[in-house]
Chains A and B, each alone.
Chain A
């Protein structure tokens, strides 16, 4: 088996929300709070992750599924080191990159400058950024829009360019949070291929998606979360996805044997290629 790359060990994450307390949020109540030294009164805590443990390995593509609010995005942010664990730990090699659906880089700058700045920020030299530039633009497929500020982009174009920038570097851990959801069919094929490439370069890709077909196609491991805890996880992607659909009140997807075989075969060929 390949080396572990992301180890999540009894992870708890607690959000603290300020100003969400029972008071009305007026100047008078703020003053009373200061006088009364009840600063804690307005802080609310949301226990978003409650004791997650799992290990993923180099070459894994991990699908994270679950209902809205089950803690999927929180998990990715914790892996990226953007949220401090309340208890437990996330171990990685460092350098996890998170792609969120709304993660514009610099909205008021052109796509062109965003590409260059993104590359430089990821630690490339000027020359490397120059070399990668054309392939990123081609991959994103935004075409002539590259000369316009990113705020003029459609959400699909924006996420394509962001994915193209982030995926241009071989990250050890790439976290994709619904960032591919707005792309069109052509882009999904491209991004699927890029994820496969990253996997064969011994990276780990985490994919949060509500599109379960995408998870089935791209991932060899799946984590099903509910209310901040893991319901089920493992490499039986189709089985877990089916049980998730069942728990959500739907019918398990009936796949014809050919598709099923193709999905399984696709994953296995990749696994054997690594070992």
Chain B
């Protein structure tokens, strides 16, 4: 005991690398021998990274866990609130109400958009899905530390489950959304079926970024402080509240910048969903009719107060920001890119989660 006392350093005096004491209890086999013994009985370092195929296989085995976990969390989320599950519907509705009041009524960003309420509701709900996925997955590792420490399972199940929670909430939001746009007089068309692939692509994208953000949030505590600002900036850049093409025609931004804004994944998924669900959006989409400078100019300069109706759909004769048919390719591209990059980034740190 006494000789040990002499060697113990006070916390903080040690630096990795220099003078690590190599004291091993007496009578132990040499290090070389232990490593050989481990190899002989097929024992691996406990903190070793599993290869990708094995990891994916483990993950697939946990698919029921992922869904059960998502459902359970979703139910538990509102147990403390008196209105309970009603908040699933109320939260998006209140969001829409606030944005409509400020941007529709006070700031008039609704200029030039037929049926601004439907336009806004789709934008807010679709963006909210991605936004919530970002925020919740950034905390997923910290939220689940006890579970991570107690049980062995592929950690990627957790961010995926969190995105599934948001997907379940999105289904509720979509039901609310359909009620709203039906009330606005939107006709039910076959286009509505395309809602499914849009939602699927967005979910894949969200899983990808969710995995990415989960690792960032686990490793850098500062990240979750920064996240709300990033997301707010992103929302304002993604045409949730205003039309990107309208901004371009007004001359506020150059076509090149409009194109860049439109290419961002949030704007893509929002635009696709709007075009799929809203006839007014399909009819007024720039580029859906041959270019006509005069009509386009009339749309740009029309005054909502004097004549709200007649020029609304003239935006169809303006230059498009991009070819809407190509949006699908980009949407697929973003989803695949996010999933691959996010997964690999998360997997690389698999053995580090839960350490502290």
If the complex has contacts A91-B43, A97-B152, are A9 and B146 also in contact, measured as CB distance less than 8 A?
Answer: no
Is B9 among interface residues, defined by CB-CB distance under 8 A?
yes
Bound CA span A106–B297, Å: 59
Is B233 among interface residues, defined by CB-CB distance under 8 A?
no
Which of B33-41, B264-272, B327-335 forms contacts with chain A? B33-41
B9: chain A residues at CB < 8 Å are: 47
Q: Are A83 and B355 in contact (CB under 8 A)?
A: yes
Q: Are B146 and A103 in contact (CB under 8 A)?
A: yes
Is B256 among interface residues, defined by CB-CB distance under 8 A?
no
A54: chain B residues at CB < 8 Å are: 25, 28
Is B251 among interface residues, defined by CB-CB distance under 8 A?
no
Bound CA span A233–B72, Å: 45
Bound CA span A85–B8, Å: 19
Bound CA span A116–B64, Å: 10
Q: Are B146 and A105 in contact (CB under 8 A)?
A: yes
Is A155 among interface residues, defined by CB-CB distance under 8 A?
no
Which among B34, B64, B150 is the interface contact of A125 at CB below 8 angstroms?
B64
B12: chain A residues at CB < 8 Å are: 20, 44-46
Q: Which residues in chain A, 36-86, are within 8 Å of chain B measured between CB atoms?
A: 44-47, 50-55, 77-86
Interface residues on B, range: 35 or more
B11: chain A residues at CB < 8 Å are: 17, 44-47
Is B68 among interface residues, defined by CB-CB distance under 8 A?
yes
Bound CA span A117–B65, Å: 6
Which of A184-192, A214-222, A223-231 forms contacts with chain B? A223-231
Bound CA span A10–B44, Å: 15
Of A47, A96, A102, most buried by chain B (CB within 10 Å of CB) is A47
A20: chain B residues at CB < 8 Å are: 12
A120 to B, closest residue via Cβ? B65
A5: chain B residues at CB < 8 Å are: 41, 43
Number of A-B contacts (CB under 8 A): 185
Q: Are B47 and A9 in contact (CB under 8 A)?
A: no
B48: chain A residues at CB < 8 Å are: 81, 94
Interface of B is mostly: loop
Bound CA span A44–B16, Å: 11
Is B351 among interface residues, defined by CB-CB distance under 8 A?
yes
- C-beta contact mask, A220-251 vs B, less than 8 Å → 1, else 0? 00000011011111000000000000010000
If the complex has contacts A98-B150, A109-B72, are A120 and B31 also in contact, measured as CB distance less than 8 A?
Answer: no
B37: chain A residues at CB < 8 Å are: 4, 7, 55
Which among A3, A100, A108, A125 is the interface contact of B149 at CB below 8 angstroms?
A100
A84 to B, closest residue via Cβ? B47
Q: Are A233 and B25 in contact (CB under 8 A)?
A: yes
If the complex has contacts A80-B46, A82-B355, are A97 and B34 also in contact, measured as CB distance less than 8 A?
Answer: no
Q: Which residues in chain A, 11-25, are within 8 Å of chain B measured between CB atoms?
A: 12, 14, 17, 20
If the complex has contacts A45-B12, A82-B149, are A51 and B64 also in contact, measured as CB distance less than 8 A?
Answer: no
Q: Are B354 and A45 in contact (CB under 8 A)?
A: no
Which residues of B does A touch, CB under 8 Å? 1, 4, 8-9, 11-12, 14-16, 20-25, 28-29, 31, 34-35, 37-38, 41-48, 58, 61-62, 64-65, 68-69, 72-73, 76, 79, 146-147, 149-153, 157, 351-352, 354-355
Give 10 nearest A-B pairs by CB, closest first. Answer: A91-B38, A120-B65, A91-B43, A81-B46, A9-B34, A230-B25, A44-B12, A103-B150, A90-B46, A46-B11
